Amino acid sequence: MRIVTLNANGIRSAARKGFFDWMARQDADIVCLQETKSQEHQLDGRHFWPDGYSAYYVDAEKKGYSGVALYSRREPDDIIRGLGWPDMDAEGRYLEARWGNLSVVSIYLPSGSSSEERQSVKFGFLERFLPYLRDCAASGRDYIFCGDWNIAHKPIDLKNWRGNRKHSGFLPEERAWLDQVFDREGWVDAFRALDDRPEQYTWWSNRGQAWAKNVGWRIDYQVVSPRLAPCLRAAAIYKDSRFSDHAPLTIDYDYPFPA
């Protein structure tokens, strides 16, 4: 089973930059997108309804903002749109597809970089999301959470970590929250379980020459249930072409995609 995730930073922009042509060559079973920045009724091109895939969208109420999508080779048994939190669901941040005992989620956690108010929103999301993850773990289902979590976990996960310790995305409180998720709750960072090399990033600022100099952050994840850890086979961050300020993250699983 192959799963690709990408923060598209505008799905229509990513389409113009060739993302869907690239996607068609990936042999992916599931593709998750975040920050689509569109309303479904605006997506009238063939790109947005890829041949061979079922397509699902959750939009933010605010136009040109947030939004998530999921494409699947096989039609899910069920689709869950939203977390049941009116404030966050209005921002289009959660889309879950279910096949048998497997749940794959396209998720976009809030960023706190724009203001103290949005950082407070982000902390509130994290506070509510940890119990949600516990409920998922207790359900007995296999979960794969794909998306932009807007947190770099450890110094290895961003270039200038010393200078970013007081910046949103690498705050001690945010990193401690991921410590809780991975170390104490048992969820698995699929990429790091497969690749422990430094300078493996998924996002680069548009300022300066961050992309050219590989001054990046690893903030896009596939976070999986503990029992899926033995199923992890390969990981790749695609950087040969740019579809967004983020790069696609692909994980291969030795897990039969349910019929």
Question: How big is the CA angle at 81 (ends 75 and 20), to the nearest 5 degrees?
Answer: 55
| 179 is annotated as an active-site residue | no
Q: Name the active-site residue from 29, 148, 157, 220.
A: 148
Q: Using an 8 Å Cβ cutoff, are 234 and 252 in contact?
A: yes
Find, among 13, 95, 19, 96, the residue nearest to 60 by Cα.
Answer: 95
- List the beta bridge partners of residue 93: none
Measured CA to CA, the distance from residue 89 to residue 60 in angstroms comes to 8
Q: Using an 8 Å Cβ cutoff, are 109 and 95 in contact?
A: no
Buried b (16+ CB within 10 A) or exposed e, 180-195: ebbeeeebbbbbbbee
**Which residue reads 């690498």 in tokens?**
170
Q: What residues are labeled active site? A: 148
